[in-house]
Structure 1
């Protein structure tokens, strides 16, 4: 039976219990459920990323799994789930286990009953729920020292000013380097620039311009994926985009508020999740969302980027029909996957980052909703999507790729090893070569409704609604 004593013995340290207590507010848990027998508990806990962490536990033998990258076992999310189940069992709604819970249950090996004690350092007192509660009460009684608050605010202002100065130095370095490359000519750029790109990227990170560094790292990797005949134009466009970002940052006081946010994010400034959710001007959309695709790749900074692409199942005029959720987890944390499965349906509210071209969002809240949804009606042919891409590019010229939605399209073979997506008007968009093998089964299955990402040269198919059922790209 689940008890406070078992949770205390399970915790790796007192700090983990204190952190778990802070998570036990109902607002942090858009989902808390149990099966009919109470043998399984699961939930979703909002964290700092764009998607909630998924936690499942078996009270009988205290088996558990959480999708967070913590190196503590169990993590604070598991402890919070178990603690909530112990103190507030009514918070858990009875439901049938979803696929991700059933999959965990099928794969796991049940352990012997009884809590597994967490590692305790020699001489350290055992973790205690009462101590965590007492610590929280002490924190509530502390009064804010006005002088300390003023000093903290002055320090934040000073650090911000120092970073602004460092970023401007980074922009100057980047401009000089690009001018040097153009002076040398782009014909030999790919052969000579790899080491130079890495060195400059490191310098940009040191000067707090991580966003520009990430664009240089992407250039170093992607230019070799582009056919050699296109490589010169590709490099020139990416360098021109960097110049535009630098120029816009220096003149950000002349930009609209939304575009100013775009520029600052492109350079490397970030928006905290809490600040975004509290922003009354941030665009919001409540709907049912089809998980069109999940994608993951390891970045040069040793972070794994996890993308979740959402398609609005009930689109409305004046709001984006596609949203992108992005999370980053350290590669050192081991294998990680996006929290949602391709094809899954999510009911909830999204909050978009302020932007001249809203796309990236955070999942603010999960809502009760159906576990299935039909694909929405999408624009006929590729023309409307390409027009939206051109409009986005006009608003934000450094966009590297943009989602397109279309119906009435089909896949066609361009060459033995290359496919394309076509429509009835004769528009042809070549598909990325890396997708050829995965997409061969879709040949001849027209007409399709599709969600694609277009970078101006090649398209990547994220999802398709076919006469035989939906197809999704999955990490």
Structure 2
């Protein structure tokens, strides 16, 4: 596969690692480098007498370097990918890989043996384990419902006083209520409270609609928690997730009953944000080229641990996606990954006009009213600068306004890719905001 500089930058664990890797990416820095149909590799002078040996699995995107760095990918791996991106023709394809590359790649193709055998439990032990789990879940639900009841009273007080009083509220009041929800083991509810406190109350009257939307959805969620026992099992799972129950990727991948879809998954974009608790959240958005299903893969990191991800924006992953159970399954995890390429087998389905997009969004909100992020493809989209902002216009001359802080660099990339022609565009619909992620041109996907 062929890397681009922007893709390599998205893989870097931090900006400093990317900058350091870029300084080492000229071919003069490398003693040797090469490639095969499944890997690229190279040797670069290190601080000792022996060079560092760098190898990258280009099928399932993994890295190995003999340097002592604890970052993945390290600056040498980043440098090798940047070198390949800038001068692929200089990488001679070799039929025989060096032994140190071949041994690592062959080992990666063999499933690892379990370190320990799984303990075989008796029927009584398994029954007791199930009872303990059920008791833990019941106790947590009771705690969440107590917190939800407290938050309901707080919301009613806000409404009783009137939304126009919100701008005068002290930020500490929102922080205290959010902390109370965390104590009640409902971090999802805390997120809604923080969102209400973070609104831009200096932005004219726009905040009023946003505040009303947050309060309405939150009150609906609190009502669902109050009537939890009356919901279907799938709705109960959905409400748990919204309230902040964690979802185990390991358990999902081991679940033989989980929904699994085999497809070529186009990674249409990636977002990274750091929360107030210093947790880094990486959201990867994917679309199935055949089934037109969308998926979101979440990765997490902290100030002490970097995000280790093999999801490269703009590439196509051939594999099987497992979905967490929900009334509207979206979050998933790759169960089997067979290859990573830049070759697009087919474009996902595109909506003809904005009217079709909004009808689709309305249908999905009827299924899940808390649905926030929806990935769509708009056919023959055109990016236009209006008097006050950028807009995305469809073929029928209807348009949707982009956020005021839309990145000018993305606009320049749009012009460079499209020549100001209409192209099919991938967008994320988030509340009332539209965010362009990339475009299709000549059977290739280009990130903005």
TM-score (norm 1): 0.68
Hey, what does 2:208 align to over in structure 1? Answer: 232
How many Å apart are 1:378 and its aligned residue? 1.8
Hey, what does 1:207 align to over in structure 2? Answer: 184
1:181 aligns with 2:181: no
1:459 aligns with 2:399: no
> 2:38–2:58: 8 Å Cα contact kept in structure 1?
no
1:270 aligns with 2:246: yes
How many Å apart are 1:283 and its aligned residue? 2.7
> 1:385 & 1:352 partners in 2: Cα distance?
24
TM-score (norm 2): 0.72
1:327 aligns with 2:334: no
Hey, what does 1:360 align to over in structure 2? Answer: 331
> 1:98 & 1:406 partners in 2: Cα distance?
36
How many Å apart are 1:457 and its aligned residue? 2.3
Within 5 Å, which residues of 2 pair with 1:300-379? Answer: 300-312=276-288, 314-316=289-291, 320=293, 322-333=294-305, 336=307, 339-368=310-339, 370-373=341-344, 376=347, 377-379=349-351
Within 5 Å, which residues of 2 pair with 1:105-144? Answer: 140=117, 144=121
1:162 aligns with 2:139: yes
Regions of 4+ moved over 6 Å: 97-100, 145-148
> 1:258 & 1:142 partners in 2: Cα distance?
30
What is the number of equivalent residue pairs in this alignment? 371
Hey, what does 1:85 align to over in structure 2? Answer: none
> 1:394 & 1:229 partners in 2: Cα distance?
27
Question: Relative to 1, partners in 2 of residues 1:161 and 1:258: Cα closer, same or farther, differing over 3 Å?
Answer: closer
Helix, strand or coil at the partner of 1:373: coil
Question: Relative to 1, partners in 2 of residues 1:389 and 1:304: Cα closer, same or farther, differing over 3 Å?
Answer: same
Unaligned runs of 5+ in 1: 1-31, 46-51, 74-96, 107-134
How many Å apart are 1:392 and its aligned residue? 1.4
> 1:456 & 1:226 partners in 2: Cα distance?
20
> 1:296–1:337: 8 Å Cα contact kept in structure 2?
no
> 1:345 & 1:248 partners in 2: Cα distance?
38
Deviations along 1:277-321, one digit per CA (max 9) or x if unpaired, are 344443322111221111101112321110111122x223xx52x
> 1:57–1:65: 8 Å Cα contact kept in structure 2?
no
Unaligned runs of 5+ in 2: 1-36, 44-52, 86-113
Q: Pairwise CA RMSD of aligned residues? A: 3.7
Q: 2:64 aligns with which of 57, 67, 70?
A: 57
> 1:332 & 1:421 partners in 2: Cα distance?
40
Hey, what does 1:296 align to over in structure 2? Answer: 272
Deviations along 1:111-148, one digit per CA (max 9) or x if unpaired, are xxxxxxxxxxxxxxxxxxxxxxxx95xx5497657776
1:409 aligns with 2:381: yes
Deviations along 1:406-425, one digit per CA (max 9) or x if unpaired, are 11111122334x11111122
Question: Relative to 1, partners in 2 of residues 1:276 and 1:456: Cα closer, same or farther, differing over 3 Å?
Answer: same
